[in-house]
Amino acid sequence: MKKFTLSVVTVLSMSAFAVAGGDIEPVEPEVVVPAPAPEPVVVDDSGLYLGVAYSSVTTKVNFDWATVTGIPLGDGQAKVSNESAFMGQAGYQFNKYFALEGRYWYGSNLKASYSYDDFNGSPGSGESNIDLNAYGIFAKPMFPVTEQFSIYGLAGYGNTQLKTDNADVKTFLGTDKVLDKNGFQWGGGVSYAITDNLSIFADYVNLAHSVDKSYDLGGVVVINTSFKDVYTINGGLTYRF
């Protein structure tokens, strides 16, 4: 009888629990909506830039003079070694890989040393002052190695002039321009961004290469000049707007 009573109580208890449970609403699972991905940041690498630089100028010229019939009378050479000049630049950067750039170099009273054997075979030497004026327009391909450091090339066309204050040279040549050359110019360098707008750079630019010219002095004597490389090594600052 006790077992029967316990069984009835158990059944009634489970029934009551089931009825009570019918009033419990089911719990809906929480749906987590992912946040939208942030818009990509577009960095504008284009813009106008200006710069200034200190330049070291080096060149060498070999020369000789002879009769118009080819009889040698003497020869020599002149050098401008690591003289100081200044360079200004202005350009437009289209993206981080390419820019167009204009450059202008100016150097006053650059020291040129020369040595020679004169018409009689006697050696001589001396110094004179040379002024440099040069400019060029360059295509500038760039390769960013890191966010701050990049390397670049320069390929363009321009003019290079060297003027002398040596009275004898001006008399012989009939001009103070010992070099006045239009032609291909090229170079390359590196750049490092200090800030978003300010960068430092160092590069090499060849302004003129293997320029040969002869001067006929009244049908009696011919002076032959042969310029090797006229080049600059530049270091400076660039500001991008």
Q: Full-prediction pTM beyond 0.75?
A: yes
pLDDT value, residue 18: 46
Say whether pLDDT at 216 is over 90.
no
pLDDT value, residue 11: 46
| 35 found inside a domain | no
CA–CA dist 126, 237 (Å, integer)? 36
Q: What is the mean pLDDT of residues 93-110?
A: 97
pLDDT band at 5 (very low <50, low <70, confident <90, very high): very low
CA–CA dist 153, 213 (Å, integer)? 29
pLDDT value, residue 118: 79
Say whether pLDDT at 105 is over 60.
yes
Gyration radius from the chain CA atoms:
40
| 8 found inside a domain | no
Cβ atoms of 104 and 141 closer than 8 Å? no
CA–CA dist 54, 234 (Å, integer)? 6
CATH of the domain at 136: 2.40.160.20
Say whether pLDDT at 17 is over 80.
no
- Per-residue pLDDT tens over the stretch 152-210: 999 999 999 999 998 878 877 778 999 999 999 999 999 999 999 999 999 999 999 99
More confident residue, 37 or 67: 67
| 157 found inside a domain | yes
pLDDT value, residue 241: 94
CA–CA dist 193, 142 (Å, integer)? 13
As for how many domains the chain has, the answer is: 1
**Range of 157's domain?**
47-240
At 220, give phi and psi (nearest 5°).
-115, -50
| 11 found inside a domain | no
Cβ atoms of 114 and 128 closer than 8 Å? yes
Phi-psi region of 144 (alpha: psi -120 to 50; beta: other; left: phi over 0): beta
Say whether pLDDT at 19 is over 50.
no
| 15 found inside a domain | no
Q: Which of 65-69, 107-111, 171-175 has the highest mean pLDDT?
A: 107-111
| 171 found inside a domain | yes
Cβ atoms of 226 and 214 closer than 8 Å? no
How far does CA 171 lie from the centroid of its chain? 39
Residue 29 CB neighbour total at 10 angstroms: 6
Please state which of the ranges 14-18, 58-62, 185-189, 226-230 shows the lowest mean pLDDT: 14-18
Q: What is the mean pLDDT of residues 226-236?
A: 95
More confident residue, 104 or 67: 104
| 82 found inside a domain | yes
| 42 found inside a domain | no
pLDDT value, residue 9: 45
Say whether pLDDT at 122 is over 80.
yes
The mean of the pLDDT values for the chain is: 86
CA–CA dist 90, 100 (Å, integer)? 9
